[in-house]
Structure 1
Amino acid sequence: MNKLLGVSPRHPGLWQDIPNSTMSKKTDIETMLSHTQGRNELKQICAQLAQLSLQGRWIVLISPPNIGYKQMLASAGVRMDRILLVHAKDEVETMWAMEKALTSGTSSAVITWTNELDARDSRRLQLVAKSAQAVGIIIENANTHLPDSTINAQGEQVNQGSLFAAMH
C-alpha cells in the first residue's frame, strides 16, 4: 500500500479535488425586516426566484401570509410546479423546517416569514448557513397583521374572490 501512495498525502480528504462542489460554495442566509408582511421584499427577489425555479429544485415558502404571493410569483415567471408550501404551527417548527429545507439539497431557495428572531435562533441559522445548499431568506416581523387599507394603498389588491363563496 505504501508503494501505491508514494509521497502523496495520507488523509483521504486531501485526495479529493472539489473546487466547484456545493461544499466550497458559501451560502448566506439573508434577513429582511418587513413592514408589509413581506410583500415588498418578495417583489424584490421575484426575478431571482424565477431563475432559481428553472433549476428543477424546490423553492420552499415557509408560513407565508396571504399577501397575494401566488400572483406575484406567477407574474414574475416563477415555475409554480416548483413551489413547496410549508405551514408551520409555531416559531420552533418554522426554524426547524427552514433548517431542513436549507440543508436537504433538494431546494434552490427557502423563504421564511417569521417574527423577530432572538439571539438563539440567529446563532442557529449562522451554523446552518455553513452547510446550506440553498439561498435562505428570512422575512422578519412579517406575521404582524396590517389593516386592509395599508395593503390596498400599496397599489395592488389581493384577489380574495377565490377565498370566499357568496351566500344567498
Structure 2
Amino acid sequence: MNKLLGVSPRHPGLWQDIPSTSMGASSGNEITTMVTETQGRDEFTQISAQLSQLSQQGRWIVLISPPNIGYKQMLAAAGVRMDRILLVHAKDEVETLWAMEKALTSGTSSAVITWTNSLDARDTRRLQLVAKSARAAGIVIESASENTNAHLTTSTMNMQDSALSQTTLFAAVH
C-alpha cells in the first residue's frame, strides 16, 4: 500500500475533491438593491413571506439598521420565527456595510437585509465582490430621497425591476 501512495499526502481527507457547495457555500447569491420611498415598508412586506420560510431553516435573518417601520409586527404576521432574527444597529454607513459583508460571508445567515441612505460606486463594487463569496441572500434597501440620480442609471433600475419580478428573491438559498 505504501508503494501505491508514493509521496502523496497520507490523510484521506486531503485526497477527496470536495466542491465548495457541499461545505455550505452556495454560489450565485446576489445582493439585490431596492430603492424605496416608504423607508422599506412596502419592500419588506413583499419579502416577509420568504423570510418566514427561511426562518424555519434555523439560520439567522439579519436586519441591519432598520428604521422604525413596524418590522416586528410585519415579521410576526408573516409567521417568521422571531428567535431567528438578529438585529444590528450600526453607527454609520461604513459600519453598516461592514456588518452586511460579515453577515453575508459568515455562513450562519440565510438572509441579510440592510437599510442605507445611498451607495456610491465604490460601495456598490464592494458589495459585488462580497456577493461572490456570500453564503446568504442580501438585500439593500436604499432611501429614494437620497438617490436623486446620484449613481442609479437606467440599466441599474432595469436590473432592480427584473430582480423584483422573480418569484422569489431568495431562490439560491437552501
TM interval, shorter chain, is 0.7 to 0.9
Q: Going by fraction, where is helix more abundant, 1 or 2?
A: 2
Map of 2:31 onto structure 1: 29
Q: 1:59: Cα distance to partner? A: 0.5
Residues 77 and 3 from structure 1, CA distance in 2 versus in 1: closer, same or farther, beyond 3 angstroms?
A: same
Distance in 2 between residues matched to 1:66 and 1:142, nearest whole Å: 17
Q: Report the counterpart of residue 55 of structure 2 in structure 1.
A: 53
- Are the structure 2 counterparts of residues 103 and 24 from structure 1 closer, same or farther at C-alpha, using a change threshold of 3 Å? closer
* Cα distance in 2, alignment partners of residues 131 and 2 from structure 1: 40
Residue number in structure 2 paired with 1:137: 139
Per-residue CA shift, 1:47-90, capped at 9, x if unaligned? Answer: 11000001111100000000010000000000011111100000
Q: Distance in 2 between matches of 1:113 and 1:105?
A: 21
Query: Which residue of 73, 82, 85 corresponds with 2:84?
Result: 82
Secondary structure at the aligned position of 2:125 is classed as helix
SS in 1 for 2:133: coil
1:77 and 1:143 map into 2 onto residues whose CA distance is 31
The structure with the largest alpha-carbon Rg is 1
Equivalent of 1:102 in 81, 101, 104: 104
Q: Structure 1: state its 5+ residue gaps.
A: 6-11, 145-168
2-side partners of 1:13 and 1:115: how far apart?
Answer: 46
Structure 2 residue runs without a partner (length 5+): 7-12, 147-174
Amino acid at match of 1:41: E
Residue from 70, 90, 93 that aligns with 2:72: 70
Answer whether contact 2:27 2:133 (CA < 8 A) is retained.
no
Rounded Cα–Cα distance in structure 2 between residues aligned with 1:41 and 1:13: 45
Q: State the Cα distance separating 1:20 from its structure 2 match.
A: 4.4
Q: Is the 8 A contact 1:38 1:142 kept in 2?
A: no
Q: Tell me how far apart the structure 1 counterparts of residues 126 and 104 of structure 2 sit (CA, whole Å).
A: 12
Aligned-pair CA distance for 1:23: 3.4
CA distance in 1, matches of 2:33, 2:85: 20
User: 1:113-141: CA deviations, max 9, x gaps?
Assistant: 00111011001001110111111000011
**TM-aligned CA distance change 1:4 to 1:76, over 3 Å:** same
Output the TM-score relative to the length of structure 1.
0.75
Question: What CA distance in whole angstroms lies between the structure 1 residues aligned with 2:145 and 2:72?
Answer: 17
* C-alpha contact 1:113 1:143 (8 A) present in aligned 2: no
